[in-house]
Amino acid sequence: METQHNSVPKTIWAGASIGFIFLLVPFVGLSQRAPWSSFVQIVTEETVLRSISLSMIVATCSAFICLILGIPLGWILAKADFRGLKLVRAIVLLPMVLPPVAGGTALLFALGRKGFIGEHLDSWFGVTLPFTTAGAVLAASFVSLPFFVLSIESSATQLDSRLEEASLNLGASPIRTFFTISLPLLRNAIMAGIALSWARALGEFGATITFAGDNPDQTRTLPLQLFVALETNPERAMIIGVLMVMISLSVLVTLRGNWLVQK
């Protein structure tokens, strides 16, 4: 820290401090107001426990979906060159800037029971996604995928392409090169992407309530529980808020911090 103090101008430090405080203050407020004495009691309530486990399932499944879809997508955005690439990139990043509610509505039109794809899912396979845990996973994946893709793309662009060429030179096929050279080199970006998309999925609310509704057994994740509590029992809402901060913080610190520091 001391050496950094010397090399970074004071004005930058001042700006950074203000920015950090701006981000920190709401959490201080939350933890200050939270009725800590009832923390354990509320967190161990059956409905809250159910929400916790639903949230874990949804966040984990959607991080997995992000992993499967995000790696090829991020790779193509970083490496490919074709007409309309810019447009593709913009569309991929859209869920990041769109209000999640709009995303959820759009999902309804596509994958809802009467959506242009969902209609066929329903009539051919009898699958309906809205108001199910699968729907909640889908909604969460929709909003968190861009975070994963960005993480992969920025890393893949910086990847030393000579290493991949060396692999080809040594006889490894392009697909083998991808799996044995490119992917391992992207390890940190993948871990960071998992952490980010997991945390984003955990906090997902708007798209979930719009697309997957609010069903206590299927889709009432922690943010939905928080939303209900906010209007009926603010104390409960604060406890759930604190709980979410704790979960997200520990995930971001351990998973992301670890993989970014390690080489």
Partner 1 sequence: MTQIFLSGTTKLGVEEFDYSFETNSSKRIAVVGPNGSGKTTLLRLIAGHERLRSGLLKINGNVYDEPTSGNFTPPHQRKLTLQHQDGSIFPHLTVEDNVAFPYRSKKKSKRKARALAHKTLEAFDLLQIKDKYPNHLSGGQIARVSLARSLTKQPRLLMLDEPTAALDVASVRQVHQTLESLKTSLLLVSHDPIEVLKLSDTIIALEGNKIIQFGTLKSVTSKPATQWLSKFFDLNLVSGTASGLEFKTGCGEIFHLPQNYSGNVEVSFPSSAISLHLSPPSGSFRNKWKATVTSLDKQDKLVRIKLVGAFDCYATITVPTFNELEIALGNTIWASIKATELNVLQKPNPAKT
Partner 2 sequence: MKLFIHVSLGVILLMSGLSCSESDSSLRVLAASSLTEVFQEIASEFEKDTGIQVTLSFAGSSSLAAQIEDGAPADVIALADEETLTRVKQSGRLTQQEEIIFATNYLAIATPIGNPASIGNISDFKGNITAVCSEQVPCGHLANELASFLKVEMEVTTWEPNVRSVRTKIELGEVDAGLIYVTDATNQVEIISIKGSESVKTKYPIAAVDNAKPSAKDFIDYVLSPNGQETLEHFRFGAPQ
The residues that touch partner 2, with contacts defined as CB under 8 A, are 99, 101-102, 105-106, 108-109, 112-114, 128, 130-131, 206, 209-210, 212-216, 219, 227-228, 230-232, 234
Per-residue interface string for the shown chain with partner 1, residues 170-209, x marking contact by CB under 8 A: xxxxx-xx--xx--xx-x----------------------
Radius of gyration of the chain (CA): 21
Q: Among partner 2, partner 1, none, what does residue 29 contact (CB within 5–8 Å per kind)?
A: none
Q: Among partner 1, partner 2, none, what does residue 177 contact (CB within 5–8 Å per kind)?
A: partner 1
Near partner 1 by CB under 8 A: residue from 28, 33, 49, 160: 160
Distance in Å, CB of 165 to partner 1, minimum:
6
Contacts of 77 (CB under 8 A, 6+ apart): 85, 88, 89, 92, 149, 153
What would you measure as the largest C-alpha separation in the chain, in angstroms? 67
Secondary structure in 3-state letters for 99-124: CHHHHHHHHHHHHCCCCCCHHHHHHH
258 makes contact with partner 1 (CB under 8 A): no
Place of tokens 């913009």: 90
Q: Among partner 2, partner 1, none, what does residue 114 contact (CB within 5–8 Å per kind)?
A: partner 2
Q: Among partner 2, partner 1, none, what does residue 170 contact (CB within 5–8 Å per kind)?
A: partner 1
5 makes contact with partner 1 (CB under 8 A): no
Identity of the residue, 165 or 235, whose beta carbon is nearer to partner 1 in the bound complex: 165
3-state helix, strand, coil in the chain (%, to 5): 80, 0, 20
* d(C-alpha 171, C-alpha 165), whole Å: 10
Stretch that binds partner 1, among 42-50, 56-64, 97-105, 157-165 (CB under 8 A): 157-165
CA distances from 249 to 146, 173, 195 (A): 20, 41, 10
Identity of the residue, 30 or 185, whose beta carbon is nearer to partner 2 in the bound complex: 30
Place of tokens 């959820």: 104
- Take residue 262 and report the two structure tokens written for it: 């390690």
Which residues are near partner 1 by CB under 8 A? 160, 162-163, 165-174, 176-177, 180-181, 184-185, 187, 263
